[in-house]
Amino acid sequence: MTTATLISTNDFCTWHQVEYTFITSLREAGLVEITIVDKTEYIPETQLQKLEKMIRMHHDLDINIAGIEAITHLLDRLESIQEDMRTLKNKLRLYEGD
């Protein structure tokens, strides 16, 4: 992975005005991935949207790490259920076409 697709955690924290410990807490909870290159921590570009959503939950709604973890788990579960429903609907369409 090149550093072109990575954002320094220091730059991210400065830009979003968030404490580094918040990012660390999210990483320890397994909610965000951090990549280390040459002893510098980076956030993969693929994690940005997810991380920014968690920051908004924390700042705007005053939700703590445990709450963010629960909400993220429920949203992931909901997305999985919706994907299962799409798959089942597509299979049902095959049988209805007969």
- Which pLDDT value is given to residue 4? 65
* CA dihedral angle for residue 79, residue 83, residue 89, residue 91, rounded to 10 degrees: -160
Q: Is 90 exceeded by the pLDDT of residue 3? A: no
Count structural domains, the chain: 1
What pLDDT, on a 0 to 100 scale, did the predictor assign at position 85? 97
The pTM of the full predicted model, rounded to 2 decimals, is 0.79
Q: Are strands 35-37 and 6-8 parallel, antiparallel or unpaired?
A: unpaired
**Could you tell me the CATH number of the domain that includes residue 15?**
1.10.1660.10
- At 50, is the pLDDT very low, low, confident or very high (cuts 50, 70, 90)? very high
Domain that holds residue 43: 3-96
For residue 37, CA distances in Å to 5, 12, 44 come to: 12, 16, 11
The pLDDT, as a whole number, for residue 95 is 86
